[in-house]
Structure 1
Amino acid sequence: MLGGAAKGSFERLGGSDEECEAYYAPLRTLLQHHPLDGLDLDIEEPVPLSTPVRLLTRLRADFGPSFLLTLAPVATALLPDPSHPAPPRPASLAPNTPNPLHRSLPHLSGFSYAELEASPAGRLVEWYNTQFYCGWGDAQTTGWYDAIVAAGWDPRRVVLGVVTNAANGAGHVGLGLLREVCGVLRARYAARGGFGGVMGWEYFNAGLGEGDRDVVRAVSRAEETEVGATPPAGPAGWAKALGLVLRAETPPAPSAPAPPLPSPAAVVAALAQPAVPWPGRDVDALVALGFSRHEAVAALNATDGHVELAAGLLFER
């Protein structure tokens, strides 16, 4: 992963050709030295579209088609803003592609992911590790994911990003419920080639919450006769419990049938506000200053919940 909380990474890679080369050269050397399968671009600072386009193009040219290039937008980055009327889709736009002319909800990256996806550079992106947590989305139901697909995104290219442990950030979804959600998504989008799967942040402490341990033990007992031994708890158990839903030829049936997918407008309008890691009064204090809820949450995330520093950060933008 490149970027994330390391603000300034993409600003430095987005300057003039000379400035970009000064920072791209050591990145290229690092990737040449270590046999990585690819690089995930987690752009959590406002940059123009030219920055990821140039970086994707350089990485593809230097490391070839087998090197995986992914991006990690927050969920709101893939959703159109319902307060702005939807412009007509360009006639040349391919199916399963979001409208690049429709303004998105507030997010962290600055540029339009829909515009990137519709451009030639979008074909260089293998998939999007979408963050459905920390106030930017919700994985407790399929609602946010369904809204993204309803907006035109190909479900095969949208990964459900979750936090694997409540200690990693707000919006943690227990393993039992997450298995249910994944089962519904797999069934719902099977006819369209499936959905993109799951990304967990982070691996080292996955499955170690008390409720998740119980699910891993239950799955282990059910699978003992097949595997011959109880799978380990923790990260490996978390991955196996999800894998049995995501990869099994005949996955466990969801406890309830998947409801039909409503219209795109109804899906976006029905989205619940996701959980955030900060007290509501702190978010409201920043909203009262004239900023959106998403901008307030982003500033609090960047300042570790310090309201005054968050306000200063917002006013500097």
Structure 2
Amino acid sequence: MGMLGGAAKGSFERLSGGDEEFEAYYSPLHAIIQRHNLQGLDLDIEEAVPLSTPTRLLSRLRADFGPSFILTLAPVATALLPDPAYPTPPRPALFMTPTTRTPNPLHPTLPHLSGFSYPALEVSDAGRLISWYNTQFYCGWGDAGSTVWYDAIVAAGWPPSKVVLGVVTNPGNGAGYIDLVKFRNVCSVLRARYEGLGGFGGVMGWEYFNAGGGEQRGAIAEVAGAADGPAGWVQGLGNVLRAVRPPSGSVRAGETGAAGFGQAPALPVPPVPWPGEDVERLIVIGFSRQEAVAALNATDGNVEMAAGLLFER
């Protein structure tokens, strides 16, 4: 698979224009997919674009490359969570079927990076084209150290089979690294908890080449029976994720299941890669925590530049 977007801001802005502009920028993307015989594409939309941008692109990719071409997105975790600052609106009758889990497209989500509503995308025709969401639970956008954030997303109506738990595989890759022993336990709990709801969506790691670099020497071999390094990190998780029966794991206090539709519970504050006082300086001038973290991420932690970026929006 390939990936489009991420830190390459402007990728999706250029695919948001009229038909002529869209074709001008879509054509080289199409050529790259063909040249390298890619089996799918992950859309990491980290810039504000309208809903029409991903729906048009998803539809075009499906039309051009067929039903076997894998289409995924990579939202931050807050993009899948309803904002508790807004009252919960009634779910549209169209999306209240007893056999299909969907988020409420009328409930605004917490601040995130993409601009459009992911619940609205999921319930649209284009949502049926999406195989799964490589959800980022790191860099201040979520927390994979317990099941609470993932449970809240499922409680908001998302099918767990489409929500992949995205983590950093090395402390150097961003804030929110979880050591392998603890993370294996989280995955064990999620596998057991959501077996009856279509299954846990699995794990995405950013990145592979330095995975496991945050573990003490020999720690991976101790829990996974494998060598240290990327292959060992993957095998250590694979032993849990590919077990014939989901391991039970252990659930700490407060990590209760969340199978029903409803309002997301109060969430623990996720770790961020910047000093807390820098985040607070942006919050006190009127921005949300998520907006502050996003601006600091975009400016490599420069508070003045982050404030300027926020005021320009």
Q: What TM-score bracket applies, with the shorter chain setting the length?
A: over 0.9
In the alignment, the residues of structure 1 paired with residue 263 and residue 168 of structure 2 have an alpha-carbon distance, to the nearest angstrom, of 23
Aligned to 1:307: 303
From 52, 67, 70, give the equivalent of 2:69.
67
Secondary structure (helix, strand or coil) at the match of 1:97 reads coil
Secondary structure (helix, strand or coil) at the match of 2:135 reads strand
In the alignment, the residues of structure 2 paired with residue 267 and residue 215 of structure 1 have an alpha-carbon distance, to the nearest angstrom, of 39
> Quick one: which amino acid aligns to residue 270 of structure 1?
A
How does 1:45-56 map onto structure 2 within 5 Å? 45-56=47-58
How does 1:10-89 map onto structure 2 within 5 Å? 10-89=12-91
Secondary structure (helix, strand or coil) at the match of 2:94 reads coil
TM-score (norm 1): 0.93
In the alignment, the residues of structure 1 paired with residue 252 and residue 245 of structure 2 have an alpha-carbon distance, to the nearest angstrom, of 16
Report deviation, 1:253: 3.8
Instruction: Let me know the Cα RMSD of the aligned residues.
Output: 1.8
Q: State how many pairs are aligned.
A: 307
TM-score (norm 2): 0.94
Distance 1:311 1:107, change over 3 A: same
Secondary structure (helix, strand or coil) at the match of 1:11 reads coil
2:124 is aligned with 1:119:
yes
From 173, 176, 180, give the equivalent of 1:171.
176
Report deviation, 1:116: 0.3
How does 1:198-277 map onto structure 2 within 5 Å? 198-211=203-216, 213-221=217-225, 231-256=226-251, 260-261=256-257, 268-277=264-273
Report deviation, 1:219: 3.1
Report deviation, 1:208: 2.0
- CA offsets per residue over residues 110-145 of structure 1, 9 Å max, x none? 000000000000001000000000000000000000
In the alignment, the residues of structure 2 paired with residue 76 and residue 123 of structure 1 have an alpha-carbon distance, to the nearest angstrom, of 21
Aligned to 1:96: 101
Moved more, 49-58 or 268-277: 268-277
Which blocks of at least 5 consecutive residues in structure 2 are unaligned? none
State whether residues 147 and 264 of structure 1, in contact with CA within 8 Å, keep that contact through their aligned partners in structure 2: no
In the alignment, the residues of structure 1 paired with residue 14 and residue 30 of structure 2 have an alpha-carbon distance, to the nearest angstrom, of 15
State whether residues 283 and 296 of structure 1, in contact with CA within 8 Å, keep that contact through their aligned partners in structure 2: yes
State whether residues 74 and 131 of structure 1, in contact with CA within 8 Å, keep that contact through their aligned partners in structure 2: yes
Identity score, percent: 69
Report deviation, 1:252: 4.3
> Quick one: which amino acid aligns to residue 243 of structure 1?
G
Secondary structure (helix, strand or coil) at the match of 1:236 reads helix
In the alignment, the residues of structure 2 paired with residue 315 and residue 153 of structure 1 have an alpha-carbon distance, to the nearest angstrom, of 33
> Quick one: which amino acid aligns to residue 68 of structure 1?
I
